[in-house]
Amino acid sequence: MKTLTESQKLRYFYFFYLYVMQGIPAGFALIAVTNYLAAKQIDARLLANFGVLVGLPWAFKFVWGPLVDKFQDSGMGRRRPWVLFSQVMAFLASLLLLFFTDPVTEFNVLVSAFVLHGVFASLQDISVDAMAITVVPEPERGRTNALMKSGMVSGQAIGSAGLAVVMHHSGFQTAAVVQSAVLLVLTVLTFFIREKPQHAFLSFRAASSQHTDSSGKQPFFKLAKELVNAILVRRSLFLFCAVAAVFISERLFQRIFTLHLIQKLNWSDTSVSVLSGTYGTMTAVTIALIGGWLSDRIGALRMLFGVTLVMGAGFVCFSLFRASWTHSMVSTSGLLLRQMFESLFSIAALPVLMSVCRRKIAAAQFGFYMALSNQADVLGIYMSGLLFIRFSAPAIGMVCGLAILLATVLIWIAGKMHAES
């Protein structure tokens, strides 16, 4: 069987299904279970706290980066041992969900189980991203990121729409069983895919010195110092601040709009979950694949600028037509367009952030960026609980749109810096 460095098709398949694996638990917890709780009239602030706690491990996943970069001399490959270890532990943590039957009455303990799963899922996320930076050639990164995003939204569709239906028909435990079974199958599949031909399927020995990257031998403090220097480059700071602003605004409006549909316009939680997981996913995957190809063709930075500009303008316009939100066609279009823009933005943003990462500290630097992006997500979720009870959804949507337009200015400035350097 060919290895990741030998086969482009295998790389595409590998990163697609690994992100499917990450998307399923995320969709289940943050969409299916959250919408289920919202339909039970759980307080918006309590729902926000649930989202914050579940997302917290991803917000601090940057602590894994230096560890993954430090220990990368296994005979199984540089990144593969970390991927496998995190997958096994995430699967075992998923089994804890089998002990719960009712998310409402067992809410507090259930949160703890989701958080524990998130700890190992965040390590998997860091490990997979480090693997991508290590084995994917730069000309392929746009398409690879498109497939990663497609895998994530496909997994979220399974976790949100699929498991929402299972949960409503057969109960929470059955949904947890289905999730755990899928995670187990994909973990077994990962075991049979290697990075390079000389790597062992299973080994507890270190790789020979000729195959070991020198970064793994650097002292920890030296890696940390190089990470700080890389992050403080002005162009990198501008780009990341822009990306973070968009992530906060997008996540905030997503949560506010979903709460508005369920608790103000009386949509059912299942209809919102299924709509997001079916038509929303098909739209997002299609756009993601087109966006990945376009990113490689015209350049990720140029695409990032265009997508952010249109996204911000779209949020503003949609908020101005708030009187039309009572029409299901308009609200449905809003849900689908939000997912489309979010997919396009991620596909453009990730290659741009990858391009500013230094190879020796790739896992740590990219992990730091992604962790702060996840913190932006968590902040958006937290703010939704505070703002939903004080301001209208259209007003919040307008502010989010304006913030995204300001992020466009930062991206333009970063582009000018790159052109002048």
Tokens found for residue 253: 């409006």
How confident is the prediction along the chain (421 residues), in pLDDT tens digits per residue?
Answer: 788 888 889 999 999 999 999 999 988 988 888 888 887 877 777 888 888 888 888 777 777 777 777 776 667 777 888 889 999 999 999 999 998 888 888 888 888 899 999 899 989 988 888 888 888 887 787 788 778 878 888 898 889 888 988 988 888 899 999 999 999 999 999 989 888 887 777 766 665 544 445 445 556 677 677 777 777 888 888 988 899 899 889 888 988 998 888 888 888 877 777 776 666 667 767 776 777 777 777 877 888 999 999 999 999 999 999 889 999 889 888 888 887 888 788 878 877 887 787 766 766 777 777 777 777 777 877 888 789 888 999 999 999 999 999 999 999 998 888 666 5
Confidence (pLDDT) at 405: 97
Domains with residue ranges and CATH for the chain: 8-197+219-420 (1.20.1250.20)
Tokens found for residue 18: 């690994």
**367, 79 contact by CB (below 8 A):** no
Name every residue whose Cβ is closer than 8 Å to that of residue 99 and which is 6 or more positions away in sequence. 113
Alpha-carbon span 121 to 285, nearest angstrom: 22
Alpha-carbon span 405 to 408, nearest angstrom: 5
Q: Quick one: 1 exposed, middle or buried, by C-beta within 10 A (0-12, 13-18, 19+)?
A: exposed
> What's the Cα-to-Cα distance from 239 to each of 65, 235, 302, 369, 405, rounded to whole Å?
20, 6, 12, 10, 14
> What's the Cα-to-Cα distance from 21 to each of 66, 250, 271, 282, 304, rounded to whole Å?
24, 23, 24, 18, 26
Nearest residue to 273 (alpha-carbon basis) of 25, 110, 33, 107: 33
Q: Say how many CA atoms lie within 13 Å of 256 toward its Cβ.
A: 28
Alpha-carbon span 373 to 242, nearest angstrom: 10
Tokens found for residue 207: 């790789």
Nearest residue to 123 (alpha-carbon basis) of 150, 93, 146: 93
Give the DSSP letter of residue 208: P
Alpha-carbon span 57 to 213, nearest angstrom: 28
Name every residue whose Cβ is closer than 8 Å to that of residue 328 and which is 6 or more positions away in sequence. none
Is the torsion defined by CA of 380, 386, 389, 395 positive or negative? Answer: negative
**269, 39 contact by CB (below 8 A):** yes
Tokens found for residue 388: 């939903």
Angle in degrees, CA 363, 369, 371, rounded to 5: 90
Tokens found for residue 38: 């919202």
Q: Quick one: 25 exposed, middle or buried, by C-beta within 10 A (0-12, 13-18, 19+)?
A: buried
**47, 385 contact by CB (below 8 A):** yes
pTM above threshold 0.75: no
Residue where the block lists tokens 């943003």:
349
Residue 375 CB neighbour total at 10 angstroms: 20
Alpha-carbon span 388 to 209, nearest angstrom: 57
